[in-house]
Amino acid sequence: MNERPPQVALVVGGSGDIGREVASRLGQLGYRLAITGRTEPRLEEAVGKLREFGADVRGFLCDLTDEEAIAGLFDELGEAYGRLDVLINAAGTAQPRLLIKADRSHFEETLRVNLVGPALVARHGLMLMRKAGRGTIINITSLGGRQGRKGFAAYCASKGALIALSDSLREEAAKFGVRVASVCPDKVDTRMHGDDPERSGMIRPADVAEAVVFLLRLSPAAVVREVRIYNTEP
């Protein structure tokens, strides 16, 4: 009797705090991992840490603002694994800036990383998954996409659009047996927040990872469209 090969999970932004935690958790569950990063040093560091814990992982440099790089990533994935079971869009950027001080380049950069890049990644991922007739795509969005925050107009707008994109993609992907969900956390304790005195009360990256695992453990008959995770302190 042939054993089913391990499932393959791609974590885009796997060199970041949230993405690395998601990848670590999936590695513990036996997934073969592919993670991406924008810079080589952080990517190599993340791959090394994951391998220390016994994960089967490969790293791929990929700039989400470069459409050709995204296409090349999926060409490499197809050659390396020949399949894709899980896609996690965990990359993102958030540069605080008041709207009256934000120029066009600020909005364009934020939208390219937080919306356009994940959309192109999801498109390529769906093309791989539909051949197998199954798969799961999870976009890490934000509660900021549900309610705007002072100083984060571009970020909140991009995350709100990513939630809407997830909803649209879900309708398209269902006929291929592919599920699509959003994980919307409140503020997460990552390097992005620097010396923020409120970090002690923030959600941990591990909480986001557990939400991802919850979604992946659902039966094929079940779909949770969105998981919202709130900080305990307002």
What are the residue numbers of the active site?
Answer: 155
**If residue 208 lies in a helix (H) or strand (E), which one and from where to where?**
helix 205-216
Task: Report which DSSP code applies to 142.
Answer: -
Which residues, in sequence order, are bridge partners of residue 186?
A: none
Contacts of 33 (CB under 8 A, 6+ apart): 8, 9, 10, 11, 14, 23, 26, 27, 50, 55, 56, 57, 58
**If residue 67 lies in a helix (H) or strand (E), which one and from where to where?**
helix 67-80
